[in-house]
Amino acid sequence: MYDVIIVGGGPAGATLARLLGRSRKVLLIERRYIKENGEGDFKKCCGGLVAPDAQRLLAEFGLGIPGEVLDGPQLFAVRTIDQGNNLERYYQRHYVNVNREKFDRWLLSQVSACVEVEDGSMFKNYMDFGKYVQATYLKDGEEIVATAKLLVGADGASSRVRRRLYPNKNGQRRYIAIQEYFRLTYNQPYYGSIFDKEITDFYSWTIPKEGYLVVGSALDPYNEPLKKFEELKGKLEGKGFDLGESFGKNSAYLLRPRGSREILTGKGRVALIGEAAGWISPSSAEGLSYGFKSALNLSGAIEENIERAATLYRKKSKSLYLNIKWKGIKSFLMYNDYTRHMIMKSGVMSMGSIKEKLAETGII
């Protein structure tokens, strides 16, 4: 009998395993092969930008990101393109650019050796028997059953645990995020964020990474996402982005909660953390800080009383619910053509001279 079985070894699951590892008997099930070092068989579709909220939580955990996890260049500006209003501005930003696979492996390497990590293992189903929960997973073609006091779904946007726990609540707003990788022939010293209603009502981005340019967009899965992605590339080329040869593409679902009612934290002997619960910023799709914070809240609830952990965790998440509400308001302002136009036109907080500097060096 385990105390906790965690499904998913991404940032949320690895953080919970690290926080509980020494005090509880924990099993972590992960479908990827992530224990050994080096590049994995599975590339997570992610921008790999660690935002200030996530940096702060890492600092509070007593962690600093090691150099080998970083992807160059480290950048300090975002080029914001508002296609509809035909406006462009540069703003200062403080992200850390990381290699997402290496980042996940590093987080997992911080987990105590007492935690049993079953990678290459696919969670299939569970049964809540009231006093305990039984999870079934597949490893090397063999079906394994494990029992625990609490099952935690940390299995991301398409969480199987969430779908099993809330079979009638499938109304979360979701997008299909597509990323394509191009060789960068010049140093691009900024991230790009593109607002264009003809492509998506969310946003698109460009991120330079280790000699490649990642072009990504969060698209409506029911409105010709591949066609919209091609349109986006055409528009970027029109803006001077040199895309050239493609070195591959990947995609992933992305949740975008319309409000706190779309956050599902769990019940009975099952709890959900990270994006499995719907914890992700509706304004920027930043998810790492929410993965860390929800894992921290759940670990506090487990330490207090594992029998009532799902209920206590919901109570401990009050500030995170408020944060989602606030990001909802921010999202309304950012994605409203009129307010965005007013903010960008005013030039408030923007970096005035950078455009001329980039033009002088031939970068734009």
Residues that bind ligand FAD (CB under 6 A): 7-13, 29-32, 45-49, 51, 54, 122-123, 154-156, 160, 177, 179, 216, 252, 254, 274-276, 280, 285-288, 291
Closest CB 274 distance from ligand FAD, rounded Å: 2
Helix (H) or strand (E) holding 252: strand 246-255
Between 37 and 346, name the residue whose CB sits nearer to ligand FAD.
Answer: 37
Closest CB 362 distance from ligand FAD, rounded Å: 28
Closest CB 153 distance from ligand FAD, rounded Å: 9
Q: Find out whether the peptide bond into 189 is cis, omega within 30 degrees of 0.
A: no
Nearest alpha carbon to residue 290 among 279, 301, 298: 279
Closest CB 160 distance from ligand FAD, rounded Å: 5
Closest CB 238 distance from ligand FAD, rounded Å: 23
Q: Say if CB 133 and CB 108 are below 8 A apart.
A: no
Q: Say if CB 204 and CB 284 are below 8 A apart.
A: no
Task: Point out the residue whose Cβ comes nearest to ligand FAD.
Answer: 287
Between 177 and 298, name the residue whose CB sits nearer to ligand FAD.
Answer: 177
CA torsion sign for 217, 222, 226, 228 is negative
Nearest alpha carbon to residue 8 among 28, 26, 33: 28
Closest CB 11 distance from ligand FAD, rounded Å: 4
Between 47 and 184, name the residue whose CB sits nearer to ligand FAD.
Answer: 47
Between 64 and 130, name the residue whose CB sits nearer to ligand FAD.
Answer: 64
Could you tell me which residues come within 8 angstroms of residue 56 by beta carbon, excluding any fewer than 6 positions away? Answer: 289
Between 185 and 246, name the residue whose CB sits nearer to ligand FAD.
Answer: 246
Nearest alpha carbon to residue 301 among 2, 14, 3: 3
Cα separation, 2 vs 134, whole angstroms: 10
Between 147 and 251, name the residue whose CB sits nearer to ligand FAD.
Answer: 251
CA atoms within a 13 Å half-sphere pointing along the CA-CB vector of 128: 14
